[in-house]
């Protein structure tokens, strides 16, 4: 797009590039994972990987900025600076967006740039309290922004570089099983057990479904992972629920006494994130295991149970 | 474009074929992608494509396929998965961890393809020895529960069995494991057995479940489909058979109880029938012997309506073949008491099945059981009788209409039952049950030990009763003496009653199982002495002793009754009855006679027509006793009693058998003559012969034969008779000979008379010869005349040589020869065929006479 | 070479339950060209049996047979003529000279007779051959108690020569006696 703008004469007179230290040895995160493995076979442009460098909670963010002029022209400016910003953006409610972190470093006092110039920068031990998150209504981003401030009537020249942040969590102290009896009187009665209620991102859901009474002709049974994202506060809360994983656990009609094993590898679901509870009072992400039984007339019977997802190790590419 | 909705041409078959083609085409298409991905070492992608391949087994098209066509899709999917397997195996050899693949495939979202891939990966996992076989087996068999659709589940589990078949540990304990090979202990045969049994159990449940899902489908089509699928289930039993090998203990404690439990629990007729049969077919015969009790116990618990016939026949047949194969096997059968297991358990099985196990099937089982008994313990007649007893029991149960248990205390006759007749098939089966012991024992004595034999025989039709009785008698090929007393003899006659009596046996009380004594008690013949018992057969007897004397009835009615029967078969059967006498012990002459008396009583009941076939053997046997008497110097009275018995026996023959009676009398006379001291019997029997000749022998041919035999007999009994008695008989013979119808008969008989007539009497040999010549000369036909004259001349020569008469004195012989020459020289006789015969005969006689001119004094040799 | 079987006096079932199994085995079908049966089969079963053994069967009537059979029969085999007669008609019984007379009367070279139940083969001074096959079942005779073993006579006829084989089934086993005869007519 920048190239196109340059062609009609409105392009910026210079290029800005940001090179983080040790970029080649850094781990990267794909911040644009396919939304769900169920649709893995239908590829679209949106699914192009977006690789971001991964930083930990208080890791120093440093590197260098290079401003290169085009065609050997001179450029006047009113100062060059770099910001480290953490934001929570409400996609459809920008007013409620919030910067929860912002640090600024001045790279160059106002003047004229006559040649390409490189600046070092460093945000030492900068605090990054939250995980990067990219949801439907809300995004939590960390980015570096280089700005060349221009004259009053000329738009500043900016360059943003996103980084990703992930936090690891210790293994939860208690991890109770989920056990529940559900049914429809006189026609269906099942009990399901999931051995755990808390899972790390590549964990395995293990359980069993006991059919104690079956008087309806079932066709299949699925286990879904449903993700519920709540963004905003007060009256402006946006709730989105999305099925991020569908996993068939049974094909055909069981009879009374049948026990169906469940073993679902969460790692298959690239869209999975940890559960988040009221991040900076702005948003929450919850996950549910939804057991769905489908009968031969395609009627669906389901029961969902909340689970907690935690991060045991970095999700990198 | 043809109308796609043309339902008329779109038959089920056509539609199915199209679905099959679609499915296979899809599989091929995915398979190409799979190979490309593997060639490029893109395993992740390959796994996804492999899932697509396997997913064809649950596509909409595949769901429409019958088991047979689905199997085609299954095969082509299996072949493609093998490509993935080989690739993974190759990677594993290079050290790649199989666990990754094992987990990766489990990310497949659809359960059916996921499990196909899991099994494929599991196979590699075990083969690579990166995991213990027992763990993988346990995991796989459990995970497969995810497919509950009967057809898809069955094939999935079939795939599991097939892939694991060569990976099942078969060592008995972990210690046996080769420690060098790997640290991981693969597991033992016990792990393998529990794996196979679990898989079998699940498959069977799925198979059984097909029935319940039949609501919308044609039951017949469904049952056909189920039968097509049964081999998938049964193959597990075959695998178990291989695992168990020759380890009986393993079979008895682990395998059989588990299979039996599943068979009983599944409560499905088709499955129970098929699987029970599988057990019978798969495991070694000696296992069946050792676990027969358990097997029969299972049979008792099978669903009502299961075809027990197939199951039981199958196992019994196998065991029969087995025990026939070696003496060790036979020994094992005896040691395990196999028959007693059947005997003790079968009633419970039959009772549980009730009327759903019909008579035909029961009979078939009894046929097999009979066969087994005879193969395994041929000496146990009591066992054979048990089988007959079962058959009788079932007959009564199924054919009885008015059996009243409650009235047992009342008169015996009141509870007697009338039975419905057997249908042909059942009757043949019942006949088979009865025939098998006959053919095996080949001994009447052994068969007579079977108390239930007659009771069962009574259910048969008259024709088959006769056939069976005949077969019994035929089976006594060697005719060893097996009847030592009267009771045994009477018993035998209960068995062969259908041949002796004119009607079917087995109405009323006899079928009750009382042994058929009822009818026999009516004839209390033992109180009547033998001297006049034959009279019983000839005249009506007072109601006090014989209210229903069937023998007398049939005597008068025999010809009409039998005319309908095949005469030839009738004769053959009666000849068999006639042979019963050879079964009777005759070591002690007196006791033998007592037996013969009873035997005759029994035979009398058959009536005249039968007697004429059955009696001669008995009569000859008695004559033989008499001859033996003379050798052993026994009581003279006994000899007379025997001869009386023989003579009375002849009296019993009907008038239609007069020639036979006469011939038998001549034998009695001959025997009496050779015994000496009983001339009364010689004279009486010959004179009775004359009476028969005069009264009952009507055709000239019979008369000629009869008289010929009388004269021949007289020829050797002369010395046993007082002169006057003999003369009287001789005169009578000459008189009858003279009165013969044809001249040639007269001539021949008179020649014979000439040889026996005493010199002294009026009708001396010479006068007989002269009469004979006279008769010959009266013949109109010249050739016959001259032949007869030559006969007379030959006879004269013999009489002369034996010095009974001098035929040269008075030129009788010379004159006769002259007359012969005259006739021969007359033109018309020369050259004809007869003329040549005459010439030869003449030449022979003349040649003989010329040689012996010294004997024939006065005969002019030159004239001859 | 022509094989001729002389056999008779079965008396089945009158005096014997049947032909010994050993004989049945010996008399395999298809080997014997002629059967000359001296009668007293008694049972039609024996008639059927004989006809199953050979295609050319000649049976004469014994004293206990039905009147169906002829009294005597003459059959030519090779250069010889055979006369068959049961023999109960012969007076005196079992007399050689009476047998010789019968042979003359019948005009045959070989005379086959039964009735005596004793197996015997002999030749008369004038060259006649006499064959008595005995009783095939070992039936006893009613006129004396000598029990003769089952027997028959097999004749191998070559031109005018006859080789006879007497088959006798004794308690100790089968005995075969061979004799050569040359008929000089």
Q: Which residue has the tokens 């999975």?
A: A272
Whether C107 and B837 lie within 8 Å, measured CB to CB: yes
pLDDT score for B183: 52
Question: What value does the mean pLDDT take over residues B349-354?
Answer: 90
Give per-residue pLDDT as tens, C157-174.
998 999 999 999 999 999
Structure tokens that stand for A303 in this block = 């029961």
- Dist. CA C93–CA C115, nearest whole Å: 9
pLDDT score for C78: 87
The CATH number of residue C131's host domain is 3.60.21.10
> Which of these, C146, C48, A24, A43, lies nearest to B624 by C-alpha position?
C146
Fold classified for B11-131: Methane Monooxygenase Hydroxylase; Chain G, domain 1 (1.20.58)
**Contact of A244 with A226, CB cutoff 8 Å:** yes
What's the total number of domains in chain C? Answer: 1
- All partners of chain B with 3 or more CB pairs under 8 angstroms: A, C
Question: What value does the mean pLDDT take over residues B306-328?
Answer: 92
Whether B109 and A252 lie within 8 Å, measured CB to CB: no
Judged against a pLDDT cut of 80, whether residue A284 lies above it is answered with yes
pLDDT score for A166: 93
> Cα–chain-centroid distance for residue B540?
41
Whether B674 and C11 lie within 8 Å, measured CB to CB: no
Give per-residue pLDDT as tens, A104-163.
999 999 988 888 899 999 999 888 999 999 988 999 999 999 999 988 778 888 999 999
Which run of H or E residues covers position A244?
strand A238-251
Q: Which of B107, B143, B152 sits opposite A251 (nearest CB)?
A: B152
**Contact of B313 with B276, CB cutoff 8 Å:** no
Judged against a pLDDT cut of 60, whether residue B561 lies above it is answered with no
pLDDT score for B422: 82
Q: Which of A185-199, A204-218, B667-681, B779-793 has the lowest mean pLDDT?
A: B779-793
Q: What average pLDDT does chain B have?
A: 84
Q: Which of A285-294, B553-562, B665-674 has the lowest mean pLDDT?
A: B553-562
**Contact of A132 with A165, CB cutoff 8 Å:** yes
B633: Cβ contacts below 8 Å, ≥ 6 apart = none
* Residue B408: band (very low, low, confident or very high) from pLDDT cuts 50, 70, 90: very low
Structure tokens that stand for B577 in this block = 């009855």
Give the percent of chain B with pLDDT over 90: 57
**Contact of A55 with A165, CB cutoff 8 Å:** yes
* Residue B477: band (very low, low, confident or very high) from pLDDT cuts 50, 70, 90: confident
Judged by DSSP in three states, A174 sits in coil
Question: What value does the mean pLDDT take over residues B452-467?
Answer: 90
Whether A246 and B109 lie within 8 Å, measured CB to CB: yes
- Dist. CA B483–CA B256, nearest whole Å: 50
**Contact of A168 with A313, CB cutoff 8 Å:** yes
**Contact of B342 with B316, CB cutoff 8 Å:** yes
Q: Which of B571, B576, B752 sits opposite C44 (nearest CB)?
A: B571
**Contact of B749 with B735, CB cutoff 8 Å:** no
* B–C CB contacts, 8 A cutoff, strictly below: 107
Domain ranges of chain B: 11-131, 523-653, 655-730, 742-864
| Burial classification of residue C121, based on how many CB atoms lie within 10 Å of its CB (0-12 exposed, 13-18 middle, 19 or more buried) | buried
Whether the predicted interface score ipTM is above 0.95 = no
Give the percent of chain B with pLDDT over 70: 86
Q: Which of A63-72, B434-443, B595-604 has the lowest mean pLDDT?
A: A63-72
pLDDT score for B617: 96
Instruction: Tell me yes or no: is domain A2-165 CATH 2.60.40.640.
Output: yes
Question: What value does the mean pLDDT take over residues C49-69?
Answer: 91
pLDDT score for A42: 39
For residue C105, the chain B residues in CB contact (below 8 A) are 790-791, 794, 841
What are the helix (H) ranges across B548-657?
A: 550-563, 567-578, 589-604, 608-632, 636-651
Give the up-direction half-sphere exposure of residue B804: CA atoms within 13 A in the CB hemisphere: 26
* Residue C57: band (very low, low, confident or very high) from pLDDT cuts 50, 70, 90: very high
pLDDT score for B413: 40
Q: Which of B215-224, B289-298, B372-381, C39-48 has the lowest mean pLDDT?
A: B215-224
Report strand pairing: A157-165 vs A80-90.
unpaired
DSSP A277: E
Q: Which of A3-17, B49-63, B151-165, B658-672 has the lowest mean pLDDT?
A: A3-17
Domain ranges of chain A: 2-165, 178-310
Picking from B715, B730, B772, B805 by the largest number of C CB atoms within 10 A of its own CB, the best residue to mutate is: B715
Judged against a pLDDT cut of 80, whether residue B184 lies above it is answered with no
Secondary-structure percent of chain A, ordered helix, strand, coil, rounded to 5: 5, 55, 40
Question: What value does the mean pLDDT take over residues B709-736?
Answer: 92
pLDDT score for B15: 82
**Both ends of chain C: CA-CA distance in Å?**
20
Question: How many helices (H) and strands (E) are present in chain C, helices listed first?
Answer: 3, 11
Residue A17 pairs in a beta bridge with: A66
pLDDT score for B175: 67
Q: Which residue of B has its CA nearest to A206?
A: B143
> Which of these, B303, B268, B254, B298, lies nearest to B280 by C-alpha position?
B298
Other CB atoms within a 10 A radius of the CB of residue A7 amount to 9
B742-864: which CATH architecture? Alpha Horseshoe (1.25)
Judged against a pLDDT cut of 50, whether residue B510 lies above it is answered with no
Judged against a pLDDT cut of 80, whether residue B524 lies above it is answered with no
Whether A252 and B142 lie within 8 Å, measured CB to CB: no
Question: What value does the mean pLDDT take over residues B329-339?
Answer: 91
Judged against a pLDDT cut of 60, whether residue B543 lies above it is answered with no
For residue C42, the chain B residues in CB contact (below 8 A) are 616
Judged against a pLDDT cut of 70, whether residue B11 lies above it is answered with no
- The full DSSP string for B547-578 is TT-HHHHHHHHHHHHHHTS-HHHHHHHHHHHH
Judged against a pLDDT cut of 70, whether residue B559 lies above it is answered with no
Judged against a pLDDT cut of 80, whether residue A243 lies above it is answered with yes
pLDDT score for B177: 52
**Contact of B849 with B797, CB cutoff 8 Å:** yes
For residue A250, the chain B residues in CB contact (below 8 A) are 111, 146-148
pLDDT score for C1: 83
pLDDT score for A47: 57
> Which of these, B372, B373, B376, B351, lies nearest to B362 by C-alpha position?
B351
pLDDT score for B128: 93
pLDDT score for B523: 32
Judged by DSSP in three states, C132 sits in strand
* Residue A10: band (very low, low, confident or very high) from pLDDT cuts 50, 70, 90: low
DSSP C150: P
- The full DSSP string for B765-787 is HHHHHHHHHHHHHT-SSHHHHHH
Q: Which residue of B has its CA nearest to A253?
A: B148
- The full DSSP string for B448-484 is TT-THHHHHHTTS-HHHHHHHHHHHHHH-TT----B-
Judged against a pLDDT cut of 90, whether residue B839 lies above it is answered with no
Higher pLDDT residue, B838 or B327? B327
Other CB atoms within a 10 A radius of the CB of residue A90 amount to 20
- Dist. CA B486–CA B476, nearest whole Å: 19
pLDDT score for B828: 60
Judged against a pLDDT cut of 90, whether residue B823 lies above it is answered with no
Cα–Cα distances (Å) from B42 to A31, A263, B95, B114, B651, in that order, read 24, 25, 17, 18, 111
Q: Do chains B and A touch (3 or more CB pairs under 8 A)?
A: yes
Let me know if the fold of A2-165 is the same as that of A178-310. yes
Judged against a pLDDT cut of 50, whether residue B531 lies above it is answered with no
Fold classified for A178-310: Immunoglobulin-like (2.60.40)
- All partners of chain C with 3 or more CB pairs under 8 angstroms: B
> Which of these, B747, B768, B753, lies nearest to B812 by C-alpha position?
B768
Residue A141 pairs in a beta bridge with: A87
Give the percent of chain C with pLDDT over 70: 98
Interface list for C 92-151 with B (CB within 8 A): 92-93, 97-98, 101, 104-105, 107, 126, 140, 142-145
pLDDT score for B217: 59
Judged against a pLDDT cut of 90, whether residue B711 lies above it is answered with yes
Higher pLDDT residue, B507 or A280? A280
Give per-residue pLDDT as tens, B226-246.
888 899 999 999 999 999 998
Backbone φ, ψ for residue B190 (5° rounding) = -65, -40
> Which of these, B395, B238, B368, lies nearest to B311 by C-alpha position?
B368
pLDDT score for B215: 55
Q: Do chains C and A touch (3 or more CB pairs under 8 A)?
A: no
- All partners of chain A with 3 or more CB pairs under 8 angstroms: B
- Dist. CA C98–CA A53, nearest whole Å: 142
Question: What value does the mean pLDDT take over residues B643-650?
Answer: 94
* Residue B836: band (very low, low, confident or very high) from pLDDT cuts 50, 70, 90: confident
Q: Which stretches of B297-394 are assigned E, i.e. beta strand? A: none
Higher pLDDT residue, B608 or B218? B608
Whether B851 and C126 lie within 8 Å, measured CB to CB: yes
* Residue B506: band (very low, low, confident or very high) from pLDDT cuts 50, 70, 90: low
Q: Which residue has the tokens 């004997």?
A: B855
- Dist. CA A137–CA A133, nearest whole Å: 11
pLDDT score for A45: 45
pLDDT score for B565: 53
Structure tokens that stand for B761 in this block = 């009497």
pLDDT score for C6: 97
Higher pLDDT residue, A68 or B504? A68
Judged against a pLDDT cut of 80, whether residue B633 lies above it is answered with no
Per the structure, the complete domain to which residue C54 belongs is given by 2-182
């Amino acid at each position: 797009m920048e190239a196109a703008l340059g062609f009609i004469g409105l392009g910026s007179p210079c290029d800005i590039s940001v090179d983080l230290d040790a970029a080649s040895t850094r781990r990267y995160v794909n911040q644009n994972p396919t939304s769900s493995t169920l649709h893995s076979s239908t590829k679209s442009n949106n699914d192009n990987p977006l690789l971001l460098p991964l930083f930990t909670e208080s890791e120093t963010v440093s590197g260098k900025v290079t401003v290169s002029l085009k065609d050997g022209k001179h450029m006047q400016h009113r100062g060059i600076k770099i910001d480290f910003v953490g934001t929570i953006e409400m996609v459809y409610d920008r007013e409620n967006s919030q910067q929860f972190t912002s640090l600024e470093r001045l790279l160059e006092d106002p003047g004229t740039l006559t040649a390409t110039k490189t600046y070092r920068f460093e945000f030492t031990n900068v605090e990054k309290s939250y995980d990067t998150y990219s949801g439907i209504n809300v995004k939590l981003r960390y980015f570096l922004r280089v700005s060349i401030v221009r004259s009053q009537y000329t738009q500043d020249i900016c360059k943003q570089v996103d980084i990703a942040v992930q936090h690891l969590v210790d293994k939860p102290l208690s991890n109770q099983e989920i056990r529940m009896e559900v049914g429809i009187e006189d026609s269906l009665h099942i009990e399901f057990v999931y051995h755990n209620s808390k899972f790390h991102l590549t964990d395995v859901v293990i359980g069993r479904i006991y059919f104690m009474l079956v008087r309806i002709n079932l066709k299949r049974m699925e286990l879904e992972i449903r993700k519920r994202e709540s963004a905003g506060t007060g009256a402006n809360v946006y709730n989105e629920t999305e099925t991020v994983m569908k996993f068939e656990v049974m094909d055909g009609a069981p009879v009374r006494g049948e026990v169906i094993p469940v073993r679902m590898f969460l790692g298959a679901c690239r869209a999975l994130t940890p559960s988040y509870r009221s991040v900076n009072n702005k948003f929450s992400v919850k996950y549910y295991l939804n057991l769905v039984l489908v009968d031969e007339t395609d009627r669906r019977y389901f029961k969902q149970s909340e689970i907690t997802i935690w991060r045991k190790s970095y999700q990198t590419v | 474009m043809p109308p796609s909705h043309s339902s008329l041409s779109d038959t089920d078959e056509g539609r199915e074929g199209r679905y099959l083609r679609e499915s296979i085409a899809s599989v091929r298409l995915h398979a190409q992608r799979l190979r490309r991905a593997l060639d490029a070492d893109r395993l992740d992608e390959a796994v996804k494509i492999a899932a697509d391949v396997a997913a064809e087994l649950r596509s909409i098209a595949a769901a429409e396929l019958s088991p047979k066509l689905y199997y085609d899709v299954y095969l082509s999917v299996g072949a493609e998965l093998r490509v993935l397997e080989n690739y993974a195996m190759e990677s594993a050899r290079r050290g790649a961890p199989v666990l990754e693949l094992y987990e990766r495939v489990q990310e497949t979202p659809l359960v059916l393809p996921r499990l196909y891939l899991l099994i494929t990966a599991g196979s590699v996992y075990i083969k690579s020895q990166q995991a213990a076989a027992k763990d993988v087996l346990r995991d796989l068999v459990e995970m497969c529960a995810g497919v509950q659709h009967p057809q898809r589940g069955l094939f999935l589990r079939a795939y599991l069995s097939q892939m694991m078949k060569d990976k099942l540990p078969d060592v008995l304990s972990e210690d046996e494991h080769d420690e060098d090979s790997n640290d991981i202990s693969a597991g033992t045969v016990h792990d393998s057995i529990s794996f196979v049994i679990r898989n079998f159990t699940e498959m069977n449940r799925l198979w059984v479940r097909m029935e319940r899902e039949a609501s919308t489908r044609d039951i017949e089509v469904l049952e056909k489909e189920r039968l097509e699928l049964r081999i998938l289930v049964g193959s597990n039993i075959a695998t178990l058979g291989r695992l168990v090998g020759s380890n009986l203990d393993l079979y008895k404690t682990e395998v059989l109880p588990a299979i039996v439990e599943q068979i009983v629990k599944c409560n499905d007729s088709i499955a129970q029938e098929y699987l029970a049969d599988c057990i019978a077919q798969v495991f070694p015969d000696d296992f069946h012997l050792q676990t027969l009790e358990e097997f029969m116990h299972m049979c008792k618990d099978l669903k009502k309506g299961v075809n027990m016939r197939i199951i039981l026949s199958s196992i019994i047949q196998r065991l029969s073949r087995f025990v026939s194969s070696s003496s060790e096997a036979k020994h094992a059968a005896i040691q395990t008491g196999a028959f007693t297991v059947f005997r003790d358990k079968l009633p419970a099985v039959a009772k549980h099945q009730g009327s759903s196990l019909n008579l035909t099937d029961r009979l078939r089982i009894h046929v097999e059981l009979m066969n087994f008994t005879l193969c395994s313990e041929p000496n146990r007649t009591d066992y054979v009788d048990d089988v007959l007893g079962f058959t009788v029991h079932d007959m009564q149960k199924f054919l009885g209409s008015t059996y009243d248990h409650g009235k047992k205390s009342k008169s015996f006759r009141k509870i007697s039952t009338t039975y419905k007749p057997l249908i042909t098939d059942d009757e043949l089966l019942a006949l088979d049950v009865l025939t098998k012991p006959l053919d095996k024992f080949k001994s009447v004595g052994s068969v007579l030990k079977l108390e239930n034999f007659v009771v069962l025989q009574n259910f048969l039709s008259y024709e088959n009763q006769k056939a069976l009785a005949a077969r019994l008698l035929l089976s006594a090929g060697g005719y060893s003496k097996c009847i030592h007393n009267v009771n045994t003899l009477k018993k035998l006659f209960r068995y062969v009653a259908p041949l002796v009596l004119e009607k079917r046996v087995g109405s009323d009380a006899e079928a009750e199982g009382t042994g058929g004594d009822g009818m026999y008690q009516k004839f209390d013949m033992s109180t009547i002495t033998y001297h006049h018992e034959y009279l019983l057969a000839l005249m009506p007897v007072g109601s006090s002793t014989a209210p229903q004397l069937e023998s007398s009835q049939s005597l008068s009615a025999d010809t009409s009754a039998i005319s309908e029967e095949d005469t030839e078969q009738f004769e053959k059967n009666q000849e068999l009855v006639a042979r019963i006498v050879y079964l009777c012990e005759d070591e002690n002459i007196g006791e033998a006679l007592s037996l013969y008396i009873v035997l005759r009583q029994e035979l009398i009941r058959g009536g005249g027509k039968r007697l004429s076939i059955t009696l001669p053997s008995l009569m000859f046997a008695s004559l033989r006793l008499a001859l033996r008497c003379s050798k052993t110097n026994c009581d003279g009275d006994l000899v007379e009693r025997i001869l009386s018995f023989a003579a009375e026996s002849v009296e019993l023959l009907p008038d239609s058998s007069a020639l036979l009676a006469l011939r038998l009398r001549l034998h009695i006379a001959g025997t009496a003559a050779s015994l000496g001291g009983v001339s009364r019997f010689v004279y009486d029997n010959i004179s009775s012969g004359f009476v028969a000749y005069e009264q009952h022998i009507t055709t000239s041919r019979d008369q000629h034969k009869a008289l010929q035999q009388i004269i021949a007999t007289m020829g050797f009994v002369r010395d046993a008779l007082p002169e006057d008695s003999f003369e009287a008989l001789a005169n009578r013979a000459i008189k009858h000979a003279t009165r013969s119808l044809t001249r040639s008969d007269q001539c021949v008989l008179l020649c014979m008379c000439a040889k026996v007539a005493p010199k002294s009497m009026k009708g001396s040999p010479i006068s007989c010869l002269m009469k004979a010549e006279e008769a010959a000369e009266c013949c109109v036909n010249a050739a016959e005349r001259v032949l007869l004259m030559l006969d007379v001349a030959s006879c004269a020569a013999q009489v002369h040589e034996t010095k009974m008469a001098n035929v040269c004195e008075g030129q009788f012989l010379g004159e006769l020869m002259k007359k012969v020459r005259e006739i021969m020289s007359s033109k018309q006789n020369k050259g004809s065929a007869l003329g040549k015969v005459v010439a030869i005969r003449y030449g022979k006689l003349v040649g003989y006479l010329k040689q012996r001119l010294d004997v024939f004094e006065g005969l002019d040799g030159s004239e001859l | 070479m022509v094989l001729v079987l002389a056999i008779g006096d079965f008396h089945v079932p009158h005096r014997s339950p049947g032909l010994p199994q050993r004989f049945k085995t010996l008399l395999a079908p298809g080997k014997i060209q002629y059967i000359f049966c001296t009668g007293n089969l008694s049972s039609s079963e024996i008639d059927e049996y004989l006809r199953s053994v050979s295609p050319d069967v000649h049976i004469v009537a014994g004293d206990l047979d039905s009147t169906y059979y002829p009294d005597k029969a003459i059959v030519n085999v090779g250069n010889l003529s055979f006369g068959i007669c049961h023999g109960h008609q012969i007076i005196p019984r079992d007399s050689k000279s009476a047998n010789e007379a019968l042979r003359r009367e019948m005009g045959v070279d070989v005379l086959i007779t039964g009735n005596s139940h004793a197996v015997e083969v002999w030749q008369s001074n004038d060259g006649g051959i006499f064959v008595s096959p005995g009783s095939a079942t070992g039936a006893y005779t009613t006129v004396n108690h000598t029990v003769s073993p089952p027997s028959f006579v097999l004749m191998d006829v070559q031109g005018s020569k006859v080789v006879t084989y007497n088959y006798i089934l004794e308690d100790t086993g089968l005995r075969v006696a061979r004799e050569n005869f040359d008929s000089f007519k």
